[in-house]
Amino acid sequence: MATTGTDLSRMREMNQLSIVWALRGNPPSTVTELAARAGLSRPAVDVLVQALVTDGWAEVEEPGASSSVGRPARRYRFRADAGHVLGIDVGVHKILAVLSDLEGNLVGTLRRPVDPDAPPGARLSEVDRVVDDVLGAAGMVPADVWAVTLGVTGPVDAAGRTSFSTPLPGWTAADPVAHLAARFPCPVRVENDCKLSAVAERWNGVAQDADDIVFLLAGLRTGAGLILDGTLRRGHGGAAGEIGALKAVRWLTAPDHLQSCPGIPATAAPGEAAAWVFQAARDGDREAVKAVRRYTRDLAVGVAALVLTLDPQVVVYGGGFSRSADVVLEPLRRELTKHCLRLPELRVSTLGDESVALGAVRLGLDEVDSRLLSDGLSAPTAPHR
Amino acid sequence: MATTGTDLSRMREMNQLSIVWALRGNPPSTVTELAARAGLSRPAVDVLVQALVTDGWAEVEEPGASSSVGRPARRYRFRADAGHVLGIDVGVHKILAVLSDLEGNLVGTLRRPVDPDAPPGARLSEVDRVVDDVLGAAGMVPADVWAVTLGVTGPVDAAGRTSFSTPLPGWTAADPVAHLAARFPCPVRVENDCKLSAVAERWNGVAQDADDIVFLLAGLRTGAGLILDGTLRRGHGGAAGEIGALKAVRWLTAPDHLQSCPGIPATAAPGEAAAWVFQAARDGDREAVKAVRRYTRDLAVGVAALVLTLDPQVVVYGGGFSRSADVVLEPLRRELTKHCLRLPELRVSTLGDESVALGAVRLGLDEVDSRLLSDGLSAPTAPHR
DNA sequence: TGGATAATGCTGAGGAGTTTACTAAGTCGG
DNA sequence: CCGACTTAGTAAACTCCTCAGCATTATCCA
């Protein structure tokens, strides 16, 4: 416990930060409201918020039509557009970039398909183009960005590299952090896609109330991201949640039960095959129901291992198959009941395939916040590495 | 992020706490040393530490023989004996109570065997007697104790009750918190034994440097305790680490491979049977080696599930079988290599069977510290619930 | 005995937040 | 239209904390 002594200036810094947090995410607020929220006296808040205005963190809204009795109050608003963060989802088939202001409002989104076989170099060039376009559309340049987070499949180490297998062809040789760092002076971070989805579900999704969350990515690939005690857990080497690597857990081959179901139209693509099977199962097709049950049984072993290890409050069912959750959730629940001591809540993701990019944005915002905490707030400018 | 505003008095409180932490666990210190450690100026430390002395948190040591040139400095010492915490291990065969001062120095230890078939009431009465004796030997009464932590086998919920199975006969009907709360006015907590062992290994044991730890309890019972990012993880319902409940993980029956090894002397008790097999394996007995390998194989599946889920830095091999780690560790390592993406360090516990009680003490000390942080430090007295 | 060294004690300066009182700017009711 | 009431903004007095600097004190060594 290395608590270090505090002096006046640090105290003022902390109080100013608490004003920022009282300001942000709220409608324009009066000094009195801020004082109540931050637990400070009105005069103190007054000078602090005025300092924020002169620094550029906040702006004044002169009193307009008053709605109640008494002198109308000046209101202060957090300048969410003082900075922006960028979240990028590098998938096998698509690249999705999301630009957000400091309050988490999305100010730009751009999705572009990419050749599934594209080598890392081409994929990163495509990332550059998508990023340029989404920044250009918002009238910004890379120097305006305060944090960049990139999501990829496969476990990511502390340096942002993917050493083990990943569906992205050749990606183990890529160094995405170096690539992005050459273009962005701000902090750059790479993270696993399941982990980012988990973060997104807690931020904007279906698990906002929970502190212990397992996000289950169910699709042609199966994976998991963990949030414990409210924060993303990466593990010592960044490989937390990779239970699918265990042979006894048949996550790798679980989707095959769907692909090999008799009756799938020959013309269907892999992704559509699964969707067809789910629909058939929904319609009562015996073979399809059996295939879904086999899939669920394999899925459940891994989920049970996660649940028994972590005892989460919520398991979020996400990924491509979450659209067909209605035919999967009940069998999954039954299987889990067999395996687990205490059944967590099962919820279905609603964020769709934007969850990775959203989680990336959230992680970028967290990075900004932790910078503010450690460095204090001077004038709002993009942090450097 | 609910940062609340700070004023001067809170600042002083924080600084005083930082002095306490600079004082504690160090030899008697001069004001200058404290100032350096706490990052405060000398005059500030001076008044703070004098306040601590008048409150009773610290005591003065007048300058004695000076060891170097210059005026000899007054030294201040943390009054570790201002309060004490109690850690109790309620095992199947024994009850172990450890009494510690506020610095974590053990001032009393008492172990007493208990009938393995004793019902909860008798077991708790025995706990009372052991506690009375260890307190009596130290010349203390229950009101002198600042925190009590009790360790039991089986998952423990937030109320301190064990709802699932446990080797302690009838324990699911027991309410140990209520029982202890009737005798101790201070905070009382009950925790799972594996979790406490994990805490102890990080405090005083073999994993002091690690932040992500899996403690593996290997004995007639198999279990696990998890430390992630430096703090104990309990899970939402307190059942984190219970991977052994998964059927695919054969932890329940794994020790049977040892019990059923041919050649065990008929006279051996269950615990001695395993020891005999380990010794025989050490001596090269083919059957024994095979039995150990079968045991290890079953053990490894569960460990692999934990490792893949959490990606820890260290796995600590503890429990009764850790005395025979030399014949288990290598096969275990081989098995894990087959299953895992990244092999964590494997270390052998050195704390022996005191680890549960030690972990309980540590949790009590943490409880005291968090009280100080939230309530500030008035005169040192036992906190109430 | 005198000089060097290092700790102690004291005083004043400066900064931050709180309290209190007062002024300004609205609404509401007669 | 005017006065009572309510709420916001502002300024001064006050308290509390830390810090810097200087004088004082105690010990060792030559």
Tally C-beta pairs within 8 A across A and B. Answer: 159
Given a contact cutoff of 8 angstroms between Cβ atoms, the answer to whether B223 and B155 are in contact is no
Please tell me the distance from the alpha carbon of residue A371 to that of residue A341, in angstroms, as a whole number: 41
Give the closest nucleotide to B40 (alpha carbon vs C1'): D18
Please tell me the distance from the alpha carbon of residue A302 to that of residue B248, in angstroms, as a whole number: 10
CATH number of B8-78: 1.10.10.10
> Which residue of chain B is at minimal alpha-carbon distance from A305?
B243
Chain A residues close to B241, C-beta within 8 Å: 309
Phi first, then psi: what are they for A300, rounded to 5°?
Answer: -65, -30
B21 to A11: CB separation less than 8 angstroms, yes or no = no
Entry pTM: 0.92
CA distance A357 to chain B (A): 22
Residue–nucleotide distance: B300 CA to C29 C1' (Å)? 83
CATH of A207-350, one of 3.60.40.10, 3.90.226.10, 3.30.420.40, 3.90.209.20: 3.30.420.40
> Which residue of chain A is at minimal alpha-carbon distance from B369?
A1
What is the arithmetic mean of pLDDT over A226-254? 94
pLDDT digits over A324-338, tens only? Answer: 999 999 999 999 999
What is the arithmetic mean of pLDDT over B285-292? 93
CA A155 from chain centre, in angstroms, equals: 16
Kindly tell me if the per-residue pLDDT of B66 is higher than 80: no
Q: Write the single-letter amino acid at A251.
A: W
Q: pLDDT value at position A1?
A: 44
Residue B30 CB coordination number (10 Å): 17
φ/ψ region of B306 (left if φ > 0, alpha if ψ in -120 to 50, else beta) reads alpha
CATH superfamily assigned to domain B208-350: ATPase, nucleotide binding domain (3.30.420.40)
Three-class secondary structure assignment of B288-342? HHHHHHHHHHHHHHHHHHHHHHHCCCEEEEECHHHHHHHHHHHHHHHHHHHHCCC
Given a contact cutoff of 8 angstroms between Cβ atoms, the answer to whether A325 and A218 are in contact is no
Chain B residues close to A306, C-beta within 8 Å: 309
What is the arithmetic mean of pLDDT over A99-116? 96
pLDDT digits over A33-54, tens only? Answer: 999 888 888 989 999 999 999 9
Please tell me the distance from the alpha carbon of residue B51 to that of residue B380, in angstroms, as a whole number: 12
Q: Is B214 helix (H, G, I), strand (E, B) or coil?
A: strand
For residue A371, what is the enclosing H or E element? helix A355-375
Give the closest nucleotide to A69 (alpha carbon vs C1'): C27
Q: pLDDT value at position A2?
A: 46
Give the closest nucleotide to A7 (alpha carbon vs C1'): D18
Find the range with the poorest average confidence among A65-74, A338-347, B54-63, B321-330. Answer: A65-74
B233 to A310: CB separation less than 8 angstroms, yes or no = yes
pLDDT digits over B307-343, tens only? Answer: 999 999 999 999 999 999 999 999 999 999 999 989 9
pLDDT digits over B4-48, tens only? Answer: 667 778 888 888 888 999 899 888 898 988 888 888 888 888 889
Please tell me the distance from the alpha carbon of residue A229 to that of residue A214, in angstroms, as a whole number: 12
Residue ranges with strand state E in A137-208: 145-152, 188-192
Kindly tell me if the per-residue pLDDT of B2 is higher than 60: no
Among B309, B371, B374, the strongest candidate for a mutation testing the A interface, having the largest count of A CBs within 10 A, is: B309
The residue ranges of every structural domain in chain A are 8-78, 83-198+355-375, 207-350
Given a contact cutoff of 8 angstroms between Cβ atoms, the answer to whether B245 and B253 are in contact is no
Assign A374 a pLDDT band (cuts: 50, 70, 90): confident
CATH of A83-198+355-375, one of 3.40.50.300, 3.30.420.40, 3.20.20.10, 1.20.140.10: 3.30.420.40
Please tell me the distance from the alpha carbon of residue B314 to that of residue A158, in angstroms, as a whole number: 17
Q: Write the single-letter amino acid at B177.
A: V
Given a contact cutoff of 8 angstroms between Cβ atoms, the answer to whether B226 and B310 are in contact is yes
Residue–nucleotide distance: B33 CA to D10 C1' (Å)? 45
Chain A residues close to B239, C-beta within 8 Å: 308, 311, 341-342
B242 to A211: CB separation less than 8 angstroms, yes or no = no
Residue–nucleotide distance: B377 CA to C8 C1' (Å)? 26
Residue–nucleotide distance: A45 CA to C20 C1' (Å)? 17
* A83-198+355-375 matches A8-78 in CATH topology: no
Q: pLDDT value at position A67?
A: 66
